[in-house]
Structure 1
Amino acid sequence: MSDFAYAYARPSALEARPEGNSLLLSAFAEEQAATATGSACFFWGRLRDSWLAARGLSTLAKVVASRFVPQSAALRDPIVTAGAGQLRFEAFSSCNGVYARLDLNSEALDGEFLSSGTTNVDFNEPMVNALARIARTEPVILSVGDKEVTLERAAGKVVERKVTLPERWIKGLTSVQAYLALMEEKLRLTRVQALQLVQGLPAGTAKTDFFLVLRGPRPSFSPVGSAGAVRVGGVHRLRLLEGLLPLCEALRVYATPDGQSSAFVLELGGGQRFLLALSADVWRGFSGEGNQLDTLMEELPAEWVAGANRLFRGNEVFNPSVFALENDLAPNTVDRLCASLSAMGLLGFDLADNQHFYRRLPFKLGRILGLNPRLKNARALLDAADDVQLVGVGAGGRTEARVRGTDVWHTVLVGGSEPARCTCPWFSGLQGQRGPCKHILAAQMRFA
């Protein structure tokens, strides 16, 4: 599958108007690419605290421009989702190991949602500079959509801009959603403690894991784990929040039970919230985690997935546990439905409200396999006559299998109470921390 190419008919702009400045984000909606002459306007209105929103958007732009792995690709532009009375601006760092989101709910907005939608937005350099110049009491009108505007300055006019969004954009959204849905709140810090958090960051670039703990009332980072500590890989990445932490009212710290991801949620007040999620290590981009592969192993009927998509698209937000109870569905079935939609980039997760939200991207079932090559390769192994062979079943239901690799056969152990294991280099190097290898997937699908 090739990268997704996006072009903007005109640049994003901060336009001076008699009633105040107007922030207009040039938009492109993929699902309208084939036939639309212009994308719809999703929201138009005033930001109640434009200065604070500008600080959040500037931090988002800072995340986009950052890269913590030298060979990572050039920066990408954020996306915005309008729906359920909220605007959500999302972005990844260029290395894909940091995810950030600014949420603006109805309390932060004084305007009208004309329609729901998701689009990629153009944060060009003039836009970033304009955000930095917004004053504390300056009125700003925010319009998300395709508007007939330009940005004219003494230095000249901003021209049309094109960006290319790679496949890892959707793959990263898939992995982040899965991690966020598993996270538990570990710490809740005041503004003073949040500032102490930044002051306590180790100098330079962290080469090893650090663990966030409370020593009395003061948060600190330790190189040694302890009970209740939060593992934070690449802790220096938290410096992305330095400009925003002094403005927060509280900071919530979340982590997955296995310590493979952590998240920091800044309550900014006035209906504004900022989230920063970190992958387990600097070198690990969210797009390669494979943390949904176990759930995606068993293919659901296409009509089930399509039906769930129509329902969630209409409701825009939902809690999976409540949805399962209301519709008399097994939790495992709902997990598989969510994983299937998430694999197409359609679902995000709101930690503070403990619910999924819907992104209005194209519904393309082919992306489930196309963006998950390990799953695709596992099914190819099953299609071959003798590539997955049963060796025997041991005590406790532990199954041993031989699975064909590249010029070699791998031994795979699945089932029972122990984690699955494989002799391939992928598993030997990662020990299952980035999802199962194709050999384990194939054995589980054949013998489970």
Structure 2
Amino acid sequence: MAEQDLAISYARQSQLTQQSGIQQLVLAHQSELAEVANVPCFFWGSLTDPLLTSKCLLTLSKVVRSSFGPVPPSLRDPIVSAGTNQIRFEGFSSCNGVYARLDLLEDAIDGEFIASGTTNVDFNEPMLNALNAVKKTEKMVLGVGSQEVAISTDKAKVIEKKVTLPPRWIKGLTSVQLYLAGMEVQFELNKIQLIQLFQGIPKGNAKGEFYLTKRANRFIFSPIGTGDAVRIGGIQRLRLLEGLLTYADKLIVYQEKGAESAAFVADFGKMRLTLALSPDSYRGFSGEGNVLENMIKAVPDEWIHAVNGLLKSNELFDPTMLSIEHDVDFDTMDTLSASLSSIGLLGYDLHSHQHYYRRLPFKMERILALNPRLKNAKKLVATAGVQFIKNTAAYIEARVEGSGVQHTVIIQGDKQQCTCNWFTNHQGKRGLCKHILAVKMVNG
């Protein structure tokens, strides 16, 4: 069965209008979850730097309207998490190879958090055009939702805009934090170094991979990698940050331990914008490979509901403190943390090196249905499709049913392999095959 796009309908459009000399940016929102969709307003207050906020939102809009792979570009509305004195905007490029998040910190906003939650928001062309005209001296109010009471009847329902979110877009949100959590700081650039570096981005659609490296006190892009260099596939994707270079205090560069994915955090003091790049333009963050292994151990629904009732959006997730405060053993908390991250209930903040709570505005059944390999692995377990030849702490060998053939799975320490085509083609770079997953499930 083919995965279906998610259709979202907004009852109104986001607007930037002027009232009594003050700009009012009111973002229309919608969620697949009724308890979120029925909240009229999450935040209402002033922006302390309207110009910089506008520039960052326009950069986010460039990301969600771009595509660097075979998927044609189209406008994909971002999601917003409001709560714990900050607002986070998140979105993906249409190809899912670029992830962007804007964090409006406590000093960037001055207002009231009426409710806590994560929701989709409407990013339409008239609103974006108005943002582009914001001047430094203007005052601006931000509303995530409207303070006005909107009344609709069965006879007069107004649907201003419909958008669709493809499964790969939602998959990206469930997996990108797993990439970010594996990243470490490599470089920190000041404003001058940052501007000099971006002047060195190759013109046009540069082919191949480049490496960010430091020579003396200057950072450069080179086609040749050195020991401490950061690999960047699809270097032209960095141009998405060009409109922010003169505003950033510094740029912090992170790289995943596998030296493939990288992230660039533009720090403005009162807000931060993170741009994460997949290994290459033709590869997105939407593959569920990194997610699957964390979902092998089933987590009871009541655990998820308990966490949802305990934490607010954007609240830092401290598993050690939660274990101590609620008398949960550390191994159980590790399993819970991995599962929550895998289904998108946790995001990851590179600045604090911690997860934060973020309930995606999609039904849980939809998220779980995005992982066909996990579904097929569970089927193999249910039909006794796994037979162990040897099973010790150091070495596991098993025969697993395939399509008209039996596959051999070997797990030895951190190394695992299978004779199926998926493993042969990807060598573990896109997650575990269903056969290895099934063996791990049975083995507990």
Does the alignment reach a TM-score above 0.5? yes
Gaps of 5+ in 2: 151-157
Cα contact 1:249–1:266 (8 A) shared by 2:
yes
2:400 maps to 1:398: no
2:410 aligned counterpart, secondary structure: strand
Partner Cα distance (2:137, 2:149) in 1: 24
Contact 2:82–2:313, Cα closer than 8 Å, also in 1: no
Secondary structure of the residue that 2:194 maps to in structure 1?
helix
Report the counterpart of residue 155 of structure 1 in structure 2.
Answer: none
Distance 2:238 2:318 in 1: 29
Distance 1:237 1:315, change over 3 A: closer
- Report the counterpart of residue 192 of structure 1 in structure 2: 192
The aligned runs of 1:364-403 (5 Å cut-off) are 365-367=364-366, 369-385=368-384, 387-392=385-390, 397-403=394-400
- Give the drift of 1:316: 2.5
**Following the alignment from structure 2 to structure 1, what is the Cα–Cα distance between the partners of residues 149 and 40?**
15
Structure 2 residue 404 is the aligned partner of structure 1 residue 407: yes
Deviation, structure 1 residue 100: 0.2
**Equivalent residue for 1:228?**
228
- SS at structure 1 position matched to 2:33: helix
Moved over 6 A (4+): none
Q: Secondary structure at the match of 1:340?
A: helix
Q: Using the alignment, how far apart are the partners of 2:163 and 2:292 within structure 1? A: 29
Partner of 1:436: 432
Q: For 1:14-60, what per-residue CA distance to the aligned partner results, in whole angstroms no more than 9, with x for missing partners?
A: 111014111111111332279x6x53211111111100000000000
Q: Does 248-257 or 357-366 show the bigger shift?
A: 357-366
Give the C-alpha shift of residue 204 in structure 1.
Answer: 2.9
Q: Equivalents in 2 of 1:144, 1:314: separation in Å?
A: 14
CA contact (8 A) 2:82 2:314 kept: no
State the SS of the aligned residue for 1:143: strand
Aligned equivalents of 1:446 and 1:24: distance in 2?
51
Within a 5 Å distance, the mapping from 1:9-408 to structure 2 comes to 9-32=11-34, 38-72=38-72, 74-146=74-146, 160-269=160-269, 271-313=270-312, 316-324=315-323, 329=328, 331-361=330-360, 365-367=364-366, 369-385=368-384, 387-392=385-390, 397-408=394-405
| Letter in structure 1 aligned against 2:160 | E
Deviation at 1:201, TM superposition (A): 1.9
How many equivalent pairs are there? 435
Taking structure 1 as the reference length, what is the TM-score of the superposition? 0.90
After superposition, the CA RMSD in angstroms is 2.6
Distance of 2:53 and 2:361 partners within structure 1 = 29
**Is contact 1:343-1:368 (8 Å) kept?**
no
Q: Which moved more, 1:403-412 or 1:348-357?
A: 403-412
Mapped to 1, the partners of 2:17 and 2:68 lie a distance apart of 34
Cα distance in 1 for residues equivalent to 2:314 and 2:268:
26
CA 1:262–1:331 in 2, change beyond 3 Å: closer, same or farther? farther
Query: Structure 2 CA distance, aligned partners of 1:251 and 1:95?
Result: 25
Q: TM-score, normalised by structure 2?
A: 0.90
Deviation at 1:193, TM superposition (A): 1.1
Q: Mark the CA change 1:404 to 1:312 in structure 2 (over 3 Å): closer, same or farther.
A: same
Alpha-carbon shift at residue 430 of structure 1 (Å): 1.4
